[in-house]
Chains A and B, each alone.
Chain A
Amino acid sequence: MSLPNPASFVCPLPLRDYPHIVMGHGGGGQLSAELIEHLFLPAFGNTQLNRLGDSAVLASPPGRLAFSTDSFVVRPLFFPGGSIGELAVNGTVNDLAMSGARPLWLSAAFVLEEGLLLATLGAIVERMAAAARAAGVAIVTGDTKVVERGHGDGCYINTSGIGVVPDGAEIDSALARPGDVVLVSGYLGDHGMAIMSVREGLAFESATGSAPIESDCAALHTLVAAMLAAAPGGVHVLRDPTRGGAAATLNEIAASTALGIALNDDAIPVRPTVRAACEMLGLDPLYVANEGKLLAIVAPEAEQAVLGAMRVHPLGRDARRMGTVQAAPQGMVTVRTGLGATRIVPVPLGEQLPRIC
């Protein structure tokens, strides 16, 4: 995917004569109304949103509801393989999907920094709309606020989402059992390293001839649906390893279940380019963020069926087993190194820091 060129975005005019976001765009007056009419509605438009009520009124579908929220702050706003727009949709869609839900509706709240180019906002909104269409979710309510220049990173987005969990789908970390297998849907660390590759001060290019590192940002609910259908009751836990990477997510599962998770270093899928970038910066791919991968804890007898279903899905082609659930050591994630020793995969403290040499 090539980087978008915000300058080439054709804004559905007339948005008055302001090429930038000004404080008035968040003031609730004419400027706000124009932003909605000429930017948000053309992009997101659906019967609910078009009513422009204070809240969306939705007919409750049968089944249990899943409800989730997430805020998105990322710099730069556009990065190889995606933008804050796709992240804002797919992030919440994935949070819903990890409880087995079919995502239905999203809200979108924007906090814009005074001075943001309207064309940039337009490009973000277009990408959000495309991601929502692709995921089959409707953005049914929203909000826009503007903060003074210098008080925001251009654009922050919060999305909340509602989905419906089909009867029979029980996804809960309490269901993990010793003997379960840990599956991963594909290569780890793509998103975090894609962001890092374009950050000021750390910008690097991959070696000649190899593809640049791109974010894996994607909506995972259809992959989840395929997994659940392939082995009813066999998928015990689903998580998307975003911030803190697989290490943080697996540690959370281990801690909440008081079980041990044993990984095999040789089975942890990392692209050569991502691994090279991590080696160069002194980072561990297990701790790097993903935006289009899931970890599944699956009953051993369901492993083949689930893996089979994952591998025929475009987002699960590289799915594999990377570890098992064990009774001990309780609450800990360990990894068996390539040399046959065992070490701990600790909970990350905060952000990983590139090391000195």
Chain B
Amino acid sequence: MKYLDEFRDSAAARGLLKEIRRAVTRPWALMEVCGGQTHSILRHGIDQLLPEGVELIHGPGCPVCVTPLEMIDQALAIAARPEVIFCSFGDMLRVPGSHGDLFQVRSQGGDVRVVYSPLDAMQLAQTHPSRQVVFFAIGFETTAPANAMAVYLARQQGLQNFSMLVSHVLAPPAMEAILRAPGNRVQAFLAAGHVCSVMGYHQYHQLCENYRLPIVVTGFEPLDVLEGIRRAVLQLERGEACVENAYARVVTEAGNQVAQQRVEEVFEVTDRAWRGIGLIPQSGWRLREAYQHFDAALRFAVGDIRTQESPLCMAGKVLEGRIKPNECPAFSTACTPRKPLGATMVSSEGACAAYYLYGRLPHTAVLVPEPRP
């Protein structure tokens, strides 16, 4: 498949691995920011192939995982209302709130639908004028332009029965929060390529300078990830700290300015609570005042729902890269994809789910990468 196969080529991957091995003289800890990268790393087994000195710390970039529990509870409350058609991306349906998930709401009669785009939800609102259609607008900068577009169009068309439950989060403030946290071990970032495809990477120069660490904009296919690692390791070994773009086929320094304008028009920056991490100042987007009548939390008056996380769940430490998922005592015992304590065990981008899915081999089975013919 074009644009995929050439970035999964095993000979090229072996070449990059060799270069990384040659470059490493001491241990380094790199954080891949995006959950999509985490899954790619575990799916293709990249972590098994890296030299011992290179550690990958899995970052907070899974939008499903960091959506706060109370936002899920608000979603559950709205979705259960008889007049509502509640639309969400698929992997949000299994994320546990404090009382069940959206699947359970659906089984109890709630009209919960999986859509692939917020514009599909908007169309549902047009074709079902007697129902209230609510879209669960979560995600990083990557999903924001389409969400902004849906609200923008809804306002243009005077759609009265469409609204959004917004829980957008921003990557750079979370990266900074990780660097500021006591005990931080991250020495370089592999920045999330798709976030940068929208926002560019100009905003990383300041971060890079302030904290003196390499930031490499990185894609998602095995060769993209390996190239990101290679560049980060080379910088670290040379004692350099600059912003590099290893995903140039998708990302430019300025990003997608049309998308940014639409986002800017509809959303404004706000403080945001991250599930498992806590409040990070100026780390989210909410609807601007001119668009507030599209805010589902206001429309359905669920804004005051407040809830507590499971005390057993260590998702926050996982998301900040302080522990690996399998170092959590609840991992694969009290917490499995079937009975998840936290969202990191649910989403296809969640680090705990990725470990559970791809990394659960018994210790007796030593995984030695064999040379391939």
User: By the criterion CB–CB under 8 Å, are B49 and A357 in contact?
Assistant: no
User: By the criterion CB–CB under 8 Å, are A341 and B10 in contact?
Assistant: no
Pick the contact of B120 from A201, A338, A341 — CB < 8 Å?
A201
User: By the criterion CB–CB under 8 Å, are B44 and A339 in contact?
Assistant: yes
Residues of B participating in the A interface, judged by any CB pair closer than 8 Å: 1, 4, 8, 10, 13-14, 36, 42-49, 63-64, 89-94, 113-116, 120, 138-140, 142-143, 194, 222, 337-338, 347-349, 356-362, 364-365, 367, 369-372
B225 to chain A minimum Cβ distance, whole angstroms, is: 10
User: By the criterion CB–CB under 8 Å, are B45 and A353 in contact?
Assistant: no
- The CA-CA distance from A171 to B285 in the complex, in Å, is 59
- The CA-CA distance from A281 to B114 in the complex, in Å, is 12
A225 to chain B minimum Cβ distance, whole angstroms, is: 35
Pick the contact of B139 from A282, A334, A346, A357 — CB < 8 Å?
A357
A-B contacts, 9 listed (Cβ < 8 Å): A329-B364, A334-B361, A338-B222, A339-B10, A340-B369, A341-B49, A342-B48, A344-B359, A356-B139
User: By the criterion CB–CB under 8 Å, are B360 and A202 in contact?
Assistant: no
Query: Which residues of the other chain, B, contact A340 by a CB distance below 8 angstroms?
Result: 10, 14, 45, 49, 369-372
Residues of A participating in the B interface, judged by any CB pair closer than 8 Å: 201-202, 272, 275-276, 279, 281-282, 328-329, 332, 334, 337-344, 346, 349, 353-357
User: By the criterion CB–CB under 8 Å, are A354 and B44 in contact?
Assistant: no
A357 to chain B minimum Cβ distance, whole angstroms, is: 5
Instruction: Identify the closest chain A residue to B194 (Cβ).
Output: A357
B303 to chain A minimum Cβ distance, whole angstroms, is: 23
Query: Which residues of the other chain, B, contact A344 by a CB distance below 8 angstroms?
Result: 357-361
- The CA-CA distance from A321 to B81 in the complex, in Å, is 51
- The CA-CA distance from A339 to B360 in the complex, in Å, is 19
- The CA-CA distance from A329 to B365 in the complex, in Å, is 6
Pick the contact of B4 from A279, A337, A342 — CB < 8 Å?
A279
User: By the criterion CB–CB under 8 Å, are B1 and A272 in contact?
Assistant: yes
- The CA-CA distance from A338 to B370 in the complex, in Å, is 11
User: By the criterion CB–CB under 8 Å, are A337 and B362 in contact?
Assistant: no
Pick the contact of A356 from B64, B113, B338, B358 — CB < 8 Å?
B64
Query: Which residues of the other chain, A, contact B45 by a CB distance below 8 angstroms?
Result: 337, 339-343
Pick the contact of A279 from B1, B63, B347 — CB < 8 Å?
B1
CB contacts between A and B, total, < 8 Å: 116
Query: Which residues of the other chain, B, contact A202 by a CB distance below 8 angstroms?
Result: 114, 116
Query: Which residues of the other chain, B, contact A276 by a CB distance below 8 angstroms?
Result: 1
- The CA-CA distance from A324 to B130 in the complex, in Å, is 56
Query: Which residues of the other chain, B, contact A334 by a CB distance below 8 angstroms?
Result: 361
Q: Is the interface of A mostly helix, strand, loop or mixed?
A: loop
User: By the criterion CB–CB under 8 Å, are B348 and A275 in contact?
Assistant: no
User: By the criterion CB–CB under 8 Å, are B143 and A357 in contact?
Assistant: yes
A188 to chain B minimum Cβ distance, whole angstroms, is: 15
Instruction: Identify the closest chain B residue to A282 (Cβ).
Output: B348
Query: Which residues of the other chain, B, contact A201 by a CB distance below 8 angstroms?
Result: 113-116, 120
Q: 7 shortest A-B CB distances, which residue pairs?
A: A341-B45, A353-B90, A354-B90, A356-B89, A341-B48, A329-B365, A343-B358
- The CA-CA distance from A340 to B8 in the complex, in Å, is 11
Beyond A272-B1, A356-B63, A356-B89, whether A329 also contacts B44 by CB under 8 A is no
Instruction: Identify the closest chain B residue to A284 (Cβ).
Output: B43
Query: Which residues of the other chain, B, contact A339 by a CB distance below 8 angstroms?
Result: 8, 10, 13-14, 44-46, 49, 222, 369
**Further pairs besides A201-B114, A329-B365, A341-B45: 13, Cβ < 8 Å:** A202-B114, A282-B348, A329-B364, A338-B10, A338-B44, A339-B49, A340-B10, A340-B14, A343-B45, A354-B89, A354-B114, A356-B89, A356-B91
User: By the criterion CB–CB under 8 Å, are A356 and B138 in contact?
Assistant: yes
User: By the criterion CB–CB under 8 Å, are B367 and A341 in contact?
Assistant: yes
Beyond A202-B116, A334-B361, whether A342 also contacts B367 by CB under 8 A is yes
Instruction: Identify the closest chain B residue to A331 (Cβ).
Output: B362
Pick the contact of B116 from A279, A281, A328, A338 — CB < 8 Å?
A281
- The CA-CA distance from A342 to B43 in the complex, in Å, is 9
Instruction: Identify the closest chain B residue to A351 (Cβ).
Output: B90
Query: Which residues of the other chain, B, contact A357 by a CB distance below 8 angstroms?
Result: 36, 63, 89, 139-140, 142-143, 194
Query: Which residues of the other chain, A, contact B94 by a CB distance below 8 angstroms?
Result: 353
Instruction: Identify the closest chain A residue to B34 (Cβ).
Output: A357
Instruction: Identify the closest chain B residue to A341 (Cβ).
Output: B45
- The CA-CA distance from A356 to B369 in the complex, in Å, is 32
User: By the criterion CB–CB under 8 Å, are B44 and A355 in contact?
Assistant: no
User: By the criterion CB–CB under 8 Å, are A337 and B43 in contact?
Assistant: yes
User: By the criterion CB–CB under 8 Å, are A341 and B44 in contact?
Assistant: yes
